[in-house]
Amino acid sequence: MADSTLAVERRGDVVWCALDRPPLNLFEPGLIAALRATFEALARDAAIRAAVVTGRGRAFTAGMDVRVLHGLDAASARALITDLCAAIDAVHRAPFPVLAAVHGACLGAGFELALACDLRVAAADASFGLPEVRVGVPSVIQAALLPPLIGPGRAAEMLLLGTPVDATRALGWGLVNRVVEPGALAAAVDETLAMLLACAPGAVRAQKALMIRWRETDLPSAVRAGIDAFAACYAGDEPREGAAAFLEKRAPRFGAR
């Protein structure tokens, strides 16, 4: 899964994926293809419990390389955005939680990538934005999540004006889960992962699948899917171990033999 534009490292049950086109990690066809291939491969590995997406250099990613956009026509633009959609969708639909560790610029396609992640931890120097209208195109793909996430008025401000949002405002708007000083970002990610890894692996995967289902279906169907998922968990040992640990006032031993 290694690629010159994406550095992939497995640390136990967690995979770290670092966009590796410093200083700004701009998207171009090679990085788009690497991101998609990596997450499609990771999705087939049932042992992975989480992934972290981050960027090397001074930014998470400042978005699409405008030099790529400059030479497009309608047909090649459709092909490019279709490929980008597939790559970001592979992150969004990963069967395990994906955490974005954001520092510096997180713009355009990079912001859409962050939105595709389940959890976002940001450094205080992070800046979020969708400046596409300033270069002649609309924001698309995961930008569709913005109105239900932060409200239509705030979404309109970002989408129609290209207004950047700093980390403090992003936290207040619910765009990120946590903001820390730049030097504390790695520790904050590790703390979040520790909490995640303390949970039941099967239950976390079931919850992730439900979260995707909830975004794409009506409320009655979403509720029925939840009932099915709850019952299915009892085909394994996690619910009994979790309940026993609670009653015995000890830490659960999920997956212990």
User: Are the C-beta atoms of residues 81 and 108 closer than 8 Å to each other?
Assistant: no
| Catalytic (active site) residue 28 | no
- Annotated catalytic residue: which of 132, 157, 216, 238? 132
- Annotated catalytic residue: which of 9, 28, 40, 112? 112
Reference 116, options 17, 12, 10, 195; nearest CA is 17
* C-alpha–C-alpha distance, residues 149 and 128, integer Å: 14
Which residues, at least 6 apart from 230, have a Cβ–Cβ distance to it below 8 Å? none
Please provide residue 34's backbone torsions phi and psi, each rounded to the nearest 5 degrees: -65, -40
| Catalytic (active site) residue 157 | no
Alpha-carbon Rg of the chain, whole angstroms? 19
* C-alpha–C-alpha distance, residues 84 and 92, integer Å: 12
Q: Name the residues annotated as catalytic.
A: 112, 132
